[in-house]
Structure 1
Amino acid sequence: MSRYLLDKFLYTVDRDPSLVERYREDPAGTVAWWEETQANRILNCCAGESSTWLAFDDVERDALASHDYVKLFELGAHPFLTLTLFIGMFERDHGPLEFQKEYARRLAHFSLPYPDIST
């Protein structure tokens, strides 16, 4: 499991409006494409620089492909990254603050200490 890779996915997708829409419409396809083409790119670095070993495990891949932000939180994905991305994808389907309230309600069963979100 790689919290770094989960957070990297959430971070990079959230910063590109076309990827947000792609992830909303085709989550499994977007996750597969991103893992194959973007996962091993080094953030904020020169073109051509990359690593070779980063990949999601099946649990991470399934959580991303099903938009399961509760599972992502359990896996240690940073809650601010999940919240901002999922607001961008789903707030339009709800009234003001309804999605944020649903997010909080679905995560309400967690108590301190929360899952570790350090990378």
Structure 2
Amino acid sequence: MSKYLLDKFLFTVDRDPDLVERYRTDPVGTVAWWEAEEANRILNCLAAEKSTWLAFDDEERQALAAHDYPKLFELGAHPFLTLTLFIAMFERDHDEPLGFQKEYARKLAHFSLPYPDIAT
């Protein structure tokens, strides 16, 4: 399991509006593409600079593909990164102000202190 890779996925997808929409409509395909093409790209470096060893485990891949943010939180993904990305994807589906944020809080309410470790 790599909290770094989970956070890197959330961070990079959230910063590209086209990727946000792609992830919203085709999560399985987006996760597979990102893992194959982007996971080993070194942040803030030339495109030719890549590592070779980073990959999601099955549990991470499944949680990302299912948009399962409670599971991502449990796995140690940073809650700010999950919240901002999922707001971008799903706030529009709620009629009330802060509708998605309230749903996010409700779905994570079963967690108690200490929260899962989010250190990478």
TM-score normalized by the length of structure 1: 0.99
Tell me the number of residue pairs that the alignment of Structure 1 and Structure 2 aligns. 119
CA root-mean-square deviation = 0.5
Equivalents in 1 of 2:73, 2:46: separation in Å?
31
1:77-105: CA deviation from partner (whole Å, max 9, x where unpaired) = 00000000000000001021011000000
Measure, in 2, the Cα distance between the counterparts of 1:69 and 1:35.
18
**Structure 1 residue ranges without an equivalent (≥5):** none
Instruction: Tell me the residue number matched to 1:116.
Output: 117
Runs (4+) of structure 1 moved beyond 2 Å? none
Report % sequence identity: 83
Cα shift readout 1:32-63 (whole Å, capped 9, x = no counterpart): 00000000000011221110000000000000
The letter of the residue matching 1:114 is: Y
The aligned counterpart of 1:42 is 42
Residue 32 of structure 1: aligned partner: 32
TM-score by length of 2: 0.98
Q: Which moved more, 1:58-67 or 1:41-50?
A: 41-50
Residue 88 of structure 1 corresponds to which residue in structure 2? Answer: 88
Cα distance between partner residues in 2 of 1:75 and 1:117: 9
Counterpart for residue 102 of structure 1: 103
Distance in 2 between the 1:46 and 1:23 partners? Answer: 24
Matches of 2:84 and 2:38 in 1, distance apart? Answer: 20
Unaligned runs of 5+ in 2: none
Give 2:101's aligned amino acid.
Answer: Q
CA distance in 2, matches of 1:115, 1:44: 28
